[in-house]
Structure 1
Amino acid sequence: MKKFLIGIHCAIAVACVPLCTIAAPVVRTIKQTQASGTTARLQTINVWNGHGVAISFYEIGETIKKVWLDDPSQILLDTDGCLEGLDQNCRNPGAGLIHLRRINRVNIPGLPQTSTTLLTVITQSSSGERKAYSFRLATSNGNPKYSQVVIKNDVVREQTTPKPQLQSLVKTQQTINQIRGGIVVAIKSGWINQQDELHQRLQNLIGYLQAGDDISTAAKAASVSQELVNKLIALSNSSDNLIRR
Structure 2
Amino acid sequence: MKSIISTVTSGTLALAIALTPISTIAAPVVRTIFQSMASGEQAKLQTINVWNGHGVAISFYEIGETIKKVWLDDPSQILLDTDGCLEGLDQNCSKGGAGLIHLRRIKKVNIPGIPQTSTTLLTVITQSSSGERKAYSFRLATSNGTPKYSQVAIKADVAREQTTPKPQLQSLVKTQQTINQIRGGIVVAIKSGWILQQDELHQRLQKLIGYLQAGDDISTATNKASVSEDLVNKLIALNNNSDNLRQGNSL
Q: CA deviation at 1:17?
A: 9.1
What is the distance in 2 between the residues matched to 1:99 and 1:130? 21
> CA offset at residue 85 of structure 1?
3.7
TM-score (norm 2): 0.53
List runs of 5+ in structure 1 lacking aligned partners: 1-13, 160-245
TM-score by length of 1: 0.55
Q: Deviations 1:141-169 (Å, cap 9, x if unpaired)? A: 0000001000010137999xxxxxxxxxx
Q: 1:58 to 1:112 in 2, by over 3 A?
A: same
Of 89, 97, 112, which residue of structure 2 is paired with 1:109?
Answer: 112
The verdict on how the C-alpha distance between 1:127 and 1:108 changes in structure 2, with shifts beyond 3 A counting, is same
> What is the aligned-residue identity percentage?
86
> Does the aligned pair in 1 maintain the 2:34–2:160 contact within 8 Å?
no
Q: For residues 142 and 128 of structure 1, what CA distance do their matches in structure 2 show?
A: 41
Matches within 5 A, 1:1-245: 23-155=26-158
CA shift for structure 1 position 113: 1.4
Instruction: Give, in whole Å, the separation in 2 of the partners of 1:115 and 1:101.
Output: 15
CA contact (8 A) 1:78 1:98 kept: yes
Distance 1:86 1:156, change over 3 A: same
Change (3 A) 1:154 1:116: same
* Corresponding residue SS for 1:155: helix
Q: Is the 8 A contact 2:84 2:99 kept in 1?
A: yes
Structure 2 counterpart of 1:102, one-letter code: R
Matching residue's letter, 2:92: N
User: Quick one: which amino acid aligns to residue 90 of structure 1?
Assistant: C
- 1:200 maps to what in 2? none
Aligned length: 145
CA contact (8 A) 1:67 1:85 kept: no
Structure 1 consecutive aligned stretches of length 4 or more whose deviation exceeds 4 Å:
20-23, 156-159
Matched residue type, 2:71: W
Cα RMSD for the two superposed structures: 2.7
Judged with a 3 Å threshold, the aligned counterparts in structure 2 of structure 1 residues 158 and 33 are, in CA distance, closer, same or farther, namely closer
Contact 1:117–1:137 (CA<8 Å) still a contact in 2? yes
What is the CA–CA distance in structure 2 between the aligned matches of 1:40 and 1:139, rounded to whole Å? 22
Shift of 1:109: 1.0
